[in-house]
Amino acid sequence: MDSDQWKLASLQTLEYLQRLGVKHLPKPSAKLSEILADWVDVSSKGSSGTSIASSRTQLQAPEPKQPTSQVPKQPAPAPAPVPVAAQVSTQVSAPAPVQVAAPSAMEPAARSVAKPSWPPVESPWMTPTRSAQDRSEALGQLKLQVEACRLCKDIVCHRRQTVFGVGPVTTRFVMIGDAPGPEEDRLGEPFVGSSGELFDKILRATGIPRDQVYILNTLKCRPPNNRVPSDMELDNCRPYMEAQLEILQPEYIICWGATAVRAVLQTTESIGRLRGRFHCYKKAKVLVTYHPTYLERAPEAKKLTWQDMQMLMRELGTLKA
């Protein structure tokens, strides 16, 4: 490329920059304009202007994009709709798969909370049925373990004693309460005090003598200030209750109150939703009703507990219709 070709290229560059709206550019001299006119003429003659034409084409390559070359002058309109749309589509479409994916990933957990994890069909006891003597010995050993247990740090420093359970070792019925109250903590026996008296009355009306049922609590130690046991405390103590049930292998388990329901059926559903039908714990039929302490505070619920007991009596054949 000779000097004139460089000048022509410079002129074309200036023109191009002007079209782009670049200000304060030096004005092309008249001589350069003349050279440009000559080269245009030469290139149109198809002579040695091939290289020039090609350089002009290169320089003017953006020219067909002149309309779009004005885009920088219209940055607002052009980008505005696009980025907004892009942002909206990003905000809507991008999180959407996440939101869809997350619930689907969480669904099994949510279902496990909503539904009990225990099998909804009968499953066998883990051990063969024991003799009365074997049961007594097994329960005696288990009681020693409970008395030595100090798993729940917030509880052991407040308890007077553990409350293991009482009753005949060969029985069809196991009654499960929640956690020991002050009287139970003092006497070491479940269902005593005023709520124990109401419990005895309900059993008598049902036709099941208290000395024919085994009675135990879900938690073996009294939580301070009678607070509701924590999940960790329930988890700590549940193996003892499960071991008692495995040794006793009852036909019927009656859960008195929400804590017993949580421990046996592994669900946080309310008693109101669970009562009125039998549930299953291994081969035992499980009945759910209100705790006598709650019935003392809400006497209107006594008729519901009585309905539950009547359901049990119909099951046992001691109540017709």
Q: Check binding of 236 to ligand SF4 (CB under 6 A).
A: yes
- For ligand SF4, which stretch binds (CB under 6 A), given 12-20, 37-45, 74-82, 229-237? 229-237
Which 198-227 positions form the footprint of ligand SF4 (CB under 6 A)? 219-221
Binding test (CB under 6 A) with ligand SF4, winner from 31, 150, 283, 314: 150
Say which residue the tokens 């109250």 belong to. 181
**Within its chain, how far is the Cα of 317 from the centroid?**
43
Binding test (CB under 6 A) with ligand SF4, winner from 14, 32, 42, 146: 146
Site string for ligand SF4, 162-181 (x = CB under 6 A): x-------------------
Closest separation in Å from C-beta 282 to ligand SF4: 21
- For ligand SF4, which stretch binds (CB under 6 A), given 60-68, 102-110, 143-151, 181-189? 143-151
Q: Check binding of 155 to ligand SF4 (CB under 6 A).
A: yes
Strand pairing class (173-177; 252-256): parallel
Closest separation in Å from C-beta 199 to ligand SF4: 21
Find out whether 276 and 182 touch, Cβ atoms under 8 Å: no
By beta-carbon proximity to ligand SF4, the closer residue of 149 and 304 is 149
| Residues near ligand SF4 (CB under 6 A) | 146, 149-152, 155-156, 162, 219-221, 233, 236-237
